[in-house]
Amino acid sequence: MREEILPLFPLPLVLFPRTALPLHIFEERYREMIGEAIEARSEFGVVLAREGGVVNTGCTATVERVVQRYADGRFDILTAGRRRFEIHELVEGRSFLRGRVSFFDDEELSPPDFTLRLRAVEGFRKILRVTHEEIEEPKWDDPQLSFQLAQIVTDVDFRQQLLCLRSEVQRLETLVEYYPVYLRRWSHTEQIRAVAPRNGHSKIIPFEAN
């Protein structure tokens, strides 16, 4: 298995292959890292940051466009997910994090049947109708459509689980099962937000000198 040393960008999110990710780069070390990626047109790895470290599976990204540069050195970029990878060890020697990684793709290559794809698409569209989320239109002919459909899910633990699965059929089945759960959680959260302003009102009690 061929290994490479890959610059790593720990973030509180999970990137999927062939999906867009806008980023605001402000830390000096990541300005350096992204600057090199732009110049060399190379990949860097996006990995989910956890307390005390990072998870060992992520997705590479390439810089598609520099959206804006600021006078103080910060800049906004638009990136796109590329390849999934596993981290075997972290590598020192630079100001930013790097890892020795190997890349992987799906191992189970049987295409999902039409019915399964349809159920996943219908679940996706139902969430869109209810939540009114604005996301990039999925590429319906993508052989890994599941990653396109999973963009709507915000739960990073679920997204990380999906990223690791090596079967499109399994990912679509997982999404079909998860969408109703996601909708229930979303509805519950919205109910709490609607009720909260009407409950537990506080008032300011002024201090009185004795």
pLDDT at 138: 87
Decide: pTM greater than 0.85.
Answer: yes
Top-level class of domain 4-104: mainly beta
Mean pLDDT of 169-193: 88
Q: For the chain, give every domain's residue range.
A: 4-104, 114-196
Distance (Å, whole) CA 135 – CA 26: 25
Our CA angle for 101, 109, 119, nearest 5°, is: 110
Enumerate helices (H) and strands (E) in the chain, giving the number of each. Answer: 5, 7
Q: How much is the average pLDDT of 166-193?
A: 89
Give yes or no for residue 209 having a pLDDT over 80.
no
pLDDT at 52: 84
Q: Mean per-residue pLDDT for 16-24?
A: 96
DSSP 30-51: HHHHHHHHHHHT--EEEEEEET
- Going by pLDDT thresholds of 50, 70 and 90, the confidence category of residue 194 is low
